Amino acid sequence: MRFSSLSGAGRGDGRHGRWFVLVFLCVALVLVVVPAVSLAWGSSPTVTLKASPTSVVAGQTVKFTASVTSCPAGATVTLQSKGSSGSWVNVNTAPVKSGVAMFKVAVMRNASYQAILKWSHSSVTSKAVCVKVTAKLTLCVKPAQYGGVAISGSLVPGWAGGKVTVTVAQIVHCNRLNVVATLTVPLTQGPGDSSVFATSWTNAHYGHGTFVITVKVAKTADFAGACASKMVKL
C-alpha cells in the first residue's frame, strides 16, 4: 500500500497528506529539540563531592559534602570509598536536604571517595576525590636497671607484616648525634585497627650520657611514613 493512500492523498485530498507529513515532522522535531534544550538548561541532576581536609593523620575526621543540582524528590546520596587495592564499597547513605548531603568519616588509610545520587530508578555518580593519610606513630621509652632501655609503641593504621626501624643515638660534643644502634622491629596486631611493637637496647659500651631514641615507619600504599623521638639519660 502506498504512503499516499494512508494519508488520504490517494482519495483526491492532497491537503490531508501534506498535513500528515507536517505533523510527523513537528513531532520528530520536538523529540529531538526538547531533550537538547533540557540539557542546555542544566535540568539533569548532577552531584559534586568535596572533602575537607584532604590530608590527615590516621583516624582524623574528614567532612564530605555532596552538592546536588536539579535534585529529584526523595533522592539520596551514597558515599563510597576505594582503598589502594580493592573495589568501591559503601560508607554511608544520607538524604538530600536543601541540595546537600553531608558525611563525617574517620579516615584511616589513603583512599578515593565518590558520591552516588540515587532517585526512582536512576542514578548519577560524582567525580572521585582523594584523601591522603599520614601514619600515627607513638613511642614509649623506659630506662631499666644497668643501662637498659625498654622501647615500645604503636602504629595507626595497622600494618600486618610490617616493621619499624629504631635508632639509638648518643648526644656528643656540640650536640652532635652519634648513632650507636639500629634495630628493625616487627609489628604485631594491636587493639582495633592498629599495630604494636616492642624491643629493648642495653647500653653496654657507651657509658653514662644522653641518648635519643627514634622510631620510623616507611611510606606504604596505605599511608605516608612517620617518625617519633624520645630523649633518655643513662
What pLDDT, in 10s, does the model give residues 115-124? 999 999 899 9
Q: Which segments of 83-193 are extended strands (E)?
A: 89-95, 100-106, 111-119, 122-125, 129-134, 136-143, 148-156, 163-171, 177-186, 188-189
Q: Give the count of beta carbons closer than 10 Å to the beta carbon of residue 159.
A: 20
Do residues 163 and 207 share a domain? Answer: yes
**Has residue 26 got a pLDDT over 90?**
no
| Distance in angstroms (rounded) separating the CA atoms of residues 200 and 166 | 10
**Cα–Cα distance, 187 to 182 (Å, whole number):** 16
Q: Write down which residue in 72, 107, 133 finishes a domain.
A: 133
For residues 49 and 124, give the distance between their C-alpha atoms in angstroms, rounded to a whole number. 12
Query: What CATH number does residue 64 fall under?
Result: 2.60.40.730
Residue 91 pLDDT > 70, yes or no? Answer: yes
Which of 117, 133, 149 delimits the end of a domain? 133
Looking at residue 20, what is its pLDDT?
52
DSSP β-bridge partners for residue 180: none
What is the pairing mode between strands 55-57 and 129-134?
Answer: parallel
pLDDT, tens digit, 9 for 90 and up, residues 145-159 = 666 899 999 999 999
The CATH number covering residue 177 comes to 2.60.40.3930
Domain coverage including residue 10: 3-40
- Give me the number of domains the chain comprises: 3
Of residues 86 and 74, the one with the higher pLDDT is: 74
